[in-house]
């Protein structure tokens, strides 16, 4: 039953972005395959799909796992154009990865030509409490700044290793997208343009 239902459901394109080595692939693989892989291979591009019920409604997620290294930034704009919702990952043990979050979110707004868009910020690796250098408050502050004009932005702390909040982060992102679509976000929230004439 579920197979036929999931096939009839339109897939949601989720793009996972973030700096190199922050755990994007680990998070994606933990969600889609329920495994934590110890491999440390940098990704160029991988895609996964998973169907699940979220709030009693079937959702088919097409997740695009991307490269974090700036060598591959040429591909970024291309997949950003296709994405319907974004998971921006940083590691709570890596200050530099966190510094990149804001610019990545800005890039999403620019590429999508929207002031608001479904974006979930995930602070990963919270199992490594001893190495933590980004406080929860710091990340929340960043997200709150965005929430002032983008109500579809949220922050969740995760651990791909212990599977903490892994499902939640993807499910909440789908919820944000549904809310965004329900409010007609895709039609209305376009950036205000000069209307002199």
Residues that bind another protein (CB under 8 A): 19-21, 40-42, 44-45, 68-72, 74-75, 77-78, 94-97, 99-100
The Cα–Cα gap between 157 and 24 comes to 13
Closer Cβ to another protein, 23 or 118, answer by number? 23
With CA atoms as reference, report the closest residue to 86 among 53, 64, 58: 64
Tokens at 160, concatenated:
């791909």
- On whether the CB atoms of residues 51 and 6 are closer than 8 A, the answer is yes
Closer Cβ to another protein, 20 or 151, answer by number? 20
Closer Cβ to another protein, 38 or 182, answer by number? 38
Residue 39 CB, nearest approach to another protein (Å): 9
Closer Cβ to another protein, 60 or 132, answer by number? 132
Closer Cβ to another protein, 41 or 148, answer by number? 41
Residue 107 CB, nearest approach to another protein (Å): 13
Task: Write phi, then psi, for 66 (nearest 5 degrees).
Answer: -115, 175
Residue 111 CB, nearest approach to another protein (Å): 13
Q: In which order are the strands placed within the sheet that holds 45-54?
A: 45-54, 57-66, 11-18, 85-91, 119-124, 153-157
The Cα–Cα gap between 154 and 142 comes to 10
Task: Write phi, then psi, for 97 (nearest 5 degrees).
Answer: -65, -35
Residue 127 CB, nearest approach to another protein (Å): 16
Residue 69 CB, nearest approach to another protein (Å): 5
The Cα–Cα gap between 19 and 25 comes to 12
């Amino acid at each position: 039953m579920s197979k036929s239902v999931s096939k009839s459901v339109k897939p949601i394109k989720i793009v996972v972005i973030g700096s190199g080595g922050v755990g994007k692939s680990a998070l994606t693989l933990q969600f889609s395959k329920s495994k934590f892989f110890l491999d440390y291979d940098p990704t160029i591009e991988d895609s996964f799909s998973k169907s699940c019920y979220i709030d009693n409604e079937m959702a088919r997620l097409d997740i695009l796992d991307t490269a974090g290294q700036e060598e591959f930034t040429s591909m970024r704009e291309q997949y950003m154009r296709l994405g319907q919702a974004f998971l921006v990952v940083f590691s709570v043990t890596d200050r530099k990865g966190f510094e990149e979050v804001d610019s990545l979110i800005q890039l999403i707004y620019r590429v999508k030509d929207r002031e608001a868009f479904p974006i979930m910020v995930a602070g990963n690796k919270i199992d490594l409490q001893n190495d933590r250098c980004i406080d929860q408050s710091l990340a929340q502050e960043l997200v709150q700044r965005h929430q002032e004009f983008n109500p579809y932005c949220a922050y969740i702390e995760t651990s791909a290793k212990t599977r903490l909040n892994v499902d939640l982060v993807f499910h909440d992102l789908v919820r944000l997208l549904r809310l965004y679509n329900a409010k007609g976000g895709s039609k209305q929230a376009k950036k205000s343009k000069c209307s002199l004439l």
